Structure 1
């Protein structure tokens, strides 16, 4: 059918696709291939022709190699074992900020070299597989030799999405058909079809045969065999996935369900909405009918076995929590001290706090485990699967190493102390039964049956009706080092510089502007303004917008954390809707106030603040004001601290109780004497609750920035 491309390199073979999307700080991709030669380029994506950032996957002497350059330092990661030629292999590469790994088949993953910074990956050009149209596209360190891949590629996934190779290719050259069915892999007269799978083909079996290669005697799916349900072929047979209110091996029974508890039977699952926050706090009660290894909960970043995930499983009779984030090699694993009791209700709570996995079973103590290094954001995008998972669409992460669903009853499901309605909140489900085991043999779903008899109330104790009581900040909902405070019984997160969002879960890169809320501020390195510790002349420019009548624009004086006790300073703030500029030199102060232009109207305003010895000069929207301190013998001002923009920590104490309001608004441009317009990301040494400005506050639009 031509679905699987073959690369012969006679003389050149390659396919091109759009660049790897959204890959600045996080990416993952998988490539399934069958090599005929031990050397060759498998995948390449770069920034500019022959230079800049790049990622490159290739074979050298049958070893998979991943070469990359995220910020001017080329690096190489090599798999531990060589590949066999003329066999299918899958390579997975994943990166999140400082962490990353390459994994070949079921070999142990190999970690990236430690990255000291968090470099941004900037890819612009097309992504190529199998080769490139011109080797001059590649930087010198991207490959060890200029050789294209020889063999077949059956599957490519980018950021968790499978690419349709033939349909989505922008351009291809030197491609022929791989023909994986030519060797006749399907037995017992099965029909072979090429497909983008890890073996590059799918078998359609004759009646009486099943399995991947039709080598096992069994039943395959046929139209209508599952009635109202859907049919899935398994390795050894077929199985019916029955919708809600149906059960039986052919979905032939009407099932009366009860909203208080659900019964799962190994191939069952119920899917609920994706957890909305990167923190986790889930409570549920379980009554296992079997202690065989099984999946109780599963949610992940992707339906493929890659990326972040969270799983609660039964393993060896014990409850076990597994969490993996940010391309780490090994998951966080927390295991209950005692096995679960059979046929008895047990409450389980799972939480994640500052990178730490927390498991509590019954009345036992919390058990905890934490990954080494700093906390990482947990990214979850699939449904929350309960009692099992949809095996037709979801491949669980290999670390879980369990595929069977839970056998028993589940009730009292809470997500962040909010009850989940077990029936009304279902997004998808299969083979769920009632814990009361009340069935009615019936025909079609629409047939007229007698009114159902409500099933008996499941054996759930009243003390299990509520989850563990917790204060709003008790679960530490703030990610990435954010601090939590309780305001009107609600948890409010203050985010460190470089993060934003309700739970500080979003990574951001500030440019030349920043918006502030609450106690937000940015501390900028003083060298961008004036490197001299003592200075007779000082200047600064700011363009800002605000709707609030009070808020600090900047403060430059003592060092961070030092209490104000009369030191020199210069500062500008919005006070009662007008700009006020103040300075202190050698114990004498001057305050200038522009009372002509009100600035709390949401429009852009330009403020230029200058000091020449003991003279203060304030310019607001081109209107000039000046003033002087009382004469002093000292002409130079000592300013040892960094420049605080938008506010400061513990503002009132830090400013000697001159100001008590941080700015709520947007600072579009900050200019210093040394470097002119300042890039806040590169100049910042600290900050809290700083975000990017809205699009209509971009620094290059609207009012012209000041010239200091």
Structure 2
């Protein structure tokens, strides 16, 4: 196989009963040899891996590897590379040797023997699979391939034909068992706005070095009713990738080298408290006949929305020093000031659930939630979180309200407003001249109505969230009065406790244990009506 007759090629052959792998990717041709007496009529397993500059050749239990020098670590281009030929080249290549990167391969002796289980991925988006013949001459298909007539592997498991029968490789699926028949348990975590997962990159790659990869992928499921929040962030020096929710839409902000992309999936909202799948793939690729590298980016959501972009750069490998799921740390906020990443702070941490989060960088595969739950030194969980995603649906909330337990039974949890049009009505104040109210609130929204109680003749009493602060409004017959209650922002995803008491023309309130007094001018009238709550907020 070569890059279409330019420079790069791969060649595997038997030489005096040992296996020799020769390749040319950007620099001088290089060779790895391994094995002895491989012409013994027994089956031998061969595995070749090329991740960045690291090349490994394995035959049975023996392995040989080396690191290539130079910046170019990619084999040609998927759009121009030749087919993969097994056992020899077609005879017509003898008259078209100029189209080969290694013309002498035409004169190599042809392979005589059997080959099975040829497995590789046909492009950067596909999983490795058994390959079928496209064309052939003077070869025959034997009946020894146990995967040929009946594939026993379920759920897209990879069938591998061995001497004793077929075996299933389930590693690329969410299933296990001899036939990939048993579904794995979902790895789930719930965040509450102050929590996140972080990856210690130094323990995933070389010590004190970033995680380097030619191709990396992050995939996960998420579920939330919050409009805004940071889902994923990775960075290295001035380069970064940030995926977040903004007004319910997915936004991707990415900078690599000299290129920057700001895009996402618009005209669709993903804060509907349903599970959504996300997969982001980045691949570093060198342009043909050029020293310029590009990063090809693919964003796939729910297997329906797929967006692709290409970003120019001055690099050959992708790097990550910081990786966060669901939010960022206070330390990173300080680092952010140095590298000028997007405006990201702990205020934008995610509220909701993740499941099955996997970060893959070439040959390294990290199951982030699983590692955090096992308290691995590689992945750490911070803040308030739980490894489950309890159902906080409207049906449960309505059932609690009907039973009258939502304010009395602390086990019923918080009331969550999951839609912009959501509201909750409860009985009003029992005493016409005395009003007492207490509640806890938590939100990431800067604006919205907290509660409202209307009386007769235009009288009202209400609390709103405006420009990230709480405001008290009332008109009890003496005119509209507006009072700011909070000194600090309350749209920080943290719980805030508010209590309020009115006795005739005097009132007091406490917000997060800070006490304040206020007066109602004139002769206030009575107020005894239903209270209405409405905002995308959590009450407890």
TM value normalised by structure 2: 0.34
TM value normalised by structure 1: 0.28
